[in-house]
């Protein structure tokens, strides 16, 4: 399959629009803009008809892999199918035509939606207060850590260290450093969980918080979370939960009940709004009461006005706030989609989402454990991590397995992460995949394992039938060539 560039489809004189006669007085561009803002030459743009444009981009979209086209089992980065009704509802004129500087009285519906979404997330997470402002999980992490810093500073003891496990998401240490703290990494135990002895040795009076993902990046629930919480709080520190894996436990367990003081929610993962390709995302942060004064401003609040009517407003009166994390109030369109998703599912539906995500992951685990090494064989939650070390003895690396999967029309899982698993294959099927699509993936993985044993060259040279075959990935990432040479 090949496709010309849009410039190569260009033909002089073609266009895709027809404008009506001008019905306002015509003015020269020089009368409207300063000279330095005016082009000296016409921009180099393709001349194409509407049908040329539509067909070109439809063909290009088919060449690319996306969640509407096929299975997308990225571990630690929930990529579930996104219901199209949420897209439609988020584009309703009452939402899409709003301006963020409108008076509060003219956008009460939007404010009510944000307030109610916050209440739902607080209930799901077991938190007391929440901000919807952060535009991604990583920004949510930064907001949480800045609030933790402000909390300790207010108490007269601005602690400097944040503990993270060796299986942590890559954004965790980056957020720690960006927030002005120092990272202290601790090793996992033989079961892939937090080693309590290691944690005890690392916990001192300079530790501000432990940053933990639960279930962790191995897809395992931290079964000693009560002991971990007790140890951290006894030291005067706080407990932060990276909510990237919340899809495993909605309606079954609440972070607040486990002792977490802060948790961020990835609306673009757990709550089924589109993600990937740079966004937009949304990373609301819920906190316990002790951290509420430090939340970013403004918060959406509710009051009864002088007429006895409920109204919603922006609360800026937070003298200890860490300030803004985002212009205006967050990625509103994403908030609408998450709100719709929660309302459609309800409490019982969200629990069923998590139950099915866990069932699907364990189905994959049991189906593939005889073909790929499973370093942590305990019951998993929403994802499972295999190792390609058996295949590597035949000269087939995990990267080769990932490339070969593309020949089956399947996206590869996350590879080489977490770092504590050599040749890692991190697979998260999500709840939206049917047994038939899981079986298709399982059969492809089994065939690749057999090929690695009997005909390794076919795997090592993959992919074979994609628009672009094997690239020099280092060169492709560092030496992009996207210029048109026409």
CATH assignment of the domain containing 400:
3.90.1150.10
**Model pLDDT for residues 364-374, shown as the tens digit of each residue:** 999 999 999 99
Q: Which of 49-58, 245-254, 462-471 has the lowest mean pLDDT?
A: 462-471
Q: Which of 185-189, 302-306, 479-483 has the lowest mean pLDDT?
A: 479-483
Q: State yes or no: pLDDT of 349 exceeds 60.
A: yes
Mean pLDDT of the region 358-366: 98
- Give the distance between the most distant pair of CA atoms in the chain: 79
Asked if residue 259 and residue 371 are part of one domain, the reply reads no
Asked if residue 462 and residue 419 are part of one domain, the reply reads yes
Tell me what pLDDT residue 485 has. Answer: 57
Mean pLDDT of the chain: 94
Asked if residue 357 and residue 282 are part of one domain, the reply reads no
Asked if residue 309 and residue 405 are part of one domain, the reply reads no
Tell me what pLDDT residue 175 has. Answer: 96
Tell me what pLDDT residue 108 has. Answer: 96
Asked if residue 367 and residue 392 are part of one domain, the reply reads yes
Residue 215 contacts residue 381 (beta carbons within 8 Å):
yes
Tell me what pLDDT residue 477 has. Answer: 79
Report which of residues 486 and 59 the model is more confident about. Answer: 59
Whether residue 441 is contained in a domain is answered as: yes
Residue 484 contacts residue 5 (beta carbons within 8 Å):
yes
Asked if residue 336 and residue 382 are part of one domain, the reply reads no
Domain boundary among 343, 368, 395: 343
Residue 399 exposed, middle or buried by CB count within 10 Å (0-12, 13-18, 19+): middle
Whether residue 362 is contained in a domain is answered as: yes
Whether residue 70 is contained in a domain is answered as: no
Tell me what pLDDT residue 484 has. Answer: 59
Q: How many domains does the chain have?
A: 3
**Model pLDDT for residues 372-412, shown as the tens digit of each residue:** 999 999 999 999 999 999 999 999 999 999 999 999 999 99
Mean pLDDT of the region 140-159: 97
Tell me what pLDDT residue 66 has. Answer: 84
Domain boundary among 343, 370, 386: 343
Domain boundary among 343, 376, 396: 343
In whole angstroms, what is the distance from residue 342 CA to residue 446 CA? 36
Asked if residue 392 and residue 337 are part of one domain, the reply reads no
Tell me what pLDDT residue 292 has. Answer: 98
Tell me what pLDDT residue 3 has. Answer: 87
Q: State yes or no: pLDDT of 278 exceeds 60.
A: no
Whether residue 481 is contained in a domain is answered as: no
Asked if residue 407 and residue 455 are part of one domain, the reply reads yes
In whole angstroms, what is the distance from residue 181 CA to residue 151 CA? 14
% of the chain beyond a pLDDT of 70:
98
Q: Which of 75-79, 129-133, 260-264 has the lowest mean pLDDT?
A: 75-79
Asked if residue 96 and residue 141 are part of one domain, the reply reads yes
CATH assignment of the domain containing 338:
3.40.640.10
Mean pLDDT of the region 202-216: 97
Q: Which of 121-135, 201-215, 267-281 has the lowest mean pLDDT?
A: 267-281
In whole angstroms, what is the distance from residue 409 CA to residue 406 CA? 5
Rounded to the nearest 10°, the torsion over CA 357, 361, 364, 366 is -120
Identify the band that residue 316 occupies on the pLDDT scale cut at 50, 70 and 90: very high
Asked if residue 219 and residue 99 are part of one domain, the reply reads yes
In whole angstroms, what is the distance from residue 322 CA to residue 319 CA? 9
Whether residue 66 is contained in a domain is answered as: no
Which of 274, 193, 216, 187 minimizes the C-alpha distance to 76?
A: 216
**Model pLDDT for residues 430-451, shown as the tens digit of each residue:** 999 999 999 999 999 999 999 9
**Model pLDDT for residues 61-72, shown as the tens digit of each residue:** 888 888 888 899
Residue 267 contacts residue 281 (beta carbons within 8 Å):
yes
Asked if residue 336 and residue 362 are part of one domain, the reply reads no
Give the domain range for residue 34: 1-61
3-class SS letters over the chain: CCCCCCCCCCCCCCCCCCCCCCCCCCCCHHHCCCHHHCCCCCCCCCCCCHHHHHHHHHHHHHHCCCCCCCCCCECCCCCCCCCHHHHHHHCCHHHHCCCCCCCHHHCHHHHHHHHHHHHHHHHHHCCCEEECCCCCHHHHHHHHHHHHHHHHHHCCCCCCEEEEECCCCCHHHHHHHHCCCEEEEECECCCCCECHHHHHHHCCCCEEEEEEECCCCCCCCCCCHHHHHHHHHHCCCEEEEEHHHHHHCCCCCCHHHHCCCEEECCCCCCCCCCCCCCCCCCCCEEECHHHHHHCCCCEEEEEECCCCCEEEEEECCCCCCCCCCCCCCCCHHHHHHHHHHHHHHHHHHHHHHHHHHHHHHHHHHHHHCCCCECCCCCCCCCCEEEECHHHHCCCCCHHHHHHHHHCCCCCCCEECCCCCCCCEEEECCCCCCCHHHHHHHHHHHHHHHHHHHHCHHHHHCCCCCCCCCCCCHHHHHHCCCCCCCC
Whether residue 182 is contained in a domain is answered as: yes
Asked if residue 157 and residue 270 are part of one domain, the reply reads yes
Whether residue 80 is contained in a domain is answered as: no
Q: State yes or no: pLDDT of 194 exceeds 80.
A: yes
Whether residue 30 is contained in a domain is answered as: yes
**Model pLDDT for residues 98-146, shown as the tens digit of each residue:** 999 999 999 999 999 999 999 999 999 999 999 999 999 999 999 999 9
Tell me what pLDDT residue 48 has. Answer: 95
């Amino acid at each position: 399959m090949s496709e010309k560039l849009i410039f190569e489809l260009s033909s002089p004189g073609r266009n895709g629009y027809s404008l009506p006669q001008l019905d306002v007085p015509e003015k020269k561009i020089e009368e409207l803009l300063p000279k330095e803002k005016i082009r000296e030459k016409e921009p180099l743009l393709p001349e194409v008809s509407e049908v040329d444009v539509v067909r070109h981009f439809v063909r290009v979209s088919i060449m690319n892999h996306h969640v509407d086209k096929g299975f997308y089992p990225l571990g630690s980065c929930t990529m579930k199918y996104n219901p199209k009704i949420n897209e439609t509802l988020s584009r309703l004129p009452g939402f899409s035509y709003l301006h963020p500087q409108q008076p509060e009285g003219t956008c009460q519906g939007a404010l009510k939606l944000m307030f109610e979404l916050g209440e739902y997330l607080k209930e799901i997470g077991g938190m007391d207060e929440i901000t919807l402002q952060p535009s991604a999980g990583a920004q949510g992490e930064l907001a949480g850590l800045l609030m933790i810093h402000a909390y300790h500073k207010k108490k007269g003891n601005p602690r400097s260290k944040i503990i993270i496990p060796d299986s942590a998401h890559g954004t965790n240490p980056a957020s720690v450093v960006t927030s002005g703290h120092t990272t202290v990494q601790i090793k996992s135990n033989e079961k892939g969980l937090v080693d309590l002895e290691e944690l005890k040795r690392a916990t001192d009076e300079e530790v501000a918080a432990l940053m933990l993902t639960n279930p962790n990046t191995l897809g395992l629930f931290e079964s000693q979370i009560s002991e971990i919480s007790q140890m951290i709080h006894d030291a005067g520190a706080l407990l932060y939960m990276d909510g990237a894996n919340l899809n495993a436990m909605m309606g079954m367990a609440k972070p607040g009940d486990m002792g977490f003081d802060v948790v961020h929610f990835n609306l673009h993962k757990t709550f089924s709004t589109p993600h990937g390709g740079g966004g937009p995302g949304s990373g609301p942060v819920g906190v316990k009461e002790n951290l509420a004064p430090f939340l970013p401003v403004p918060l959406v609040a509710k009051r009864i006005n002088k007429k006895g009517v409920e109204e919603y407003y922006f609360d800026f009166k937070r003298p200890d706030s860490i300030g803004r994390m985002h212009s205006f109030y967050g990625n509103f369109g994403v908030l609408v989609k998450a709100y719709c998703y929660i309302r459609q599912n309800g409490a019982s539906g969200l629990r069923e989402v998590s139950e099915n995500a866990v069932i699907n992951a364990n189905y994959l685990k049991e189906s593939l454990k005889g073909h790929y090494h499973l370093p942590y064989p305990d019951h998993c939650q929403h994802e499972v991590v295999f190792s390609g070390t058996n295949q590597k003895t035949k000269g087939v690396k995990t990267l080769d397995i990932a490339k070969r999967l593309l020949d089956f029309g399947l996206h590869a899982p996350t590879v080489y992460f977490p770092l504590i698993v050599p040749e890692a294959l991190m697979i998260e099927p999500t709840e939206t995949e049917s047994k038939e699509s899981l079986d298709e993936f399982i059969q492809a993985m089994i065939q690749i394992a057999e090929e690695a044993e009997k005909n390794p060259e076919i795997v090592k040279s993959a992919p074979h039938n994609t628009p672009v075959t094997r690239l020099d990935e280092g060169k492709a990432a560092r030496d992009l060539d996207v210029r048109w040479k026409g």
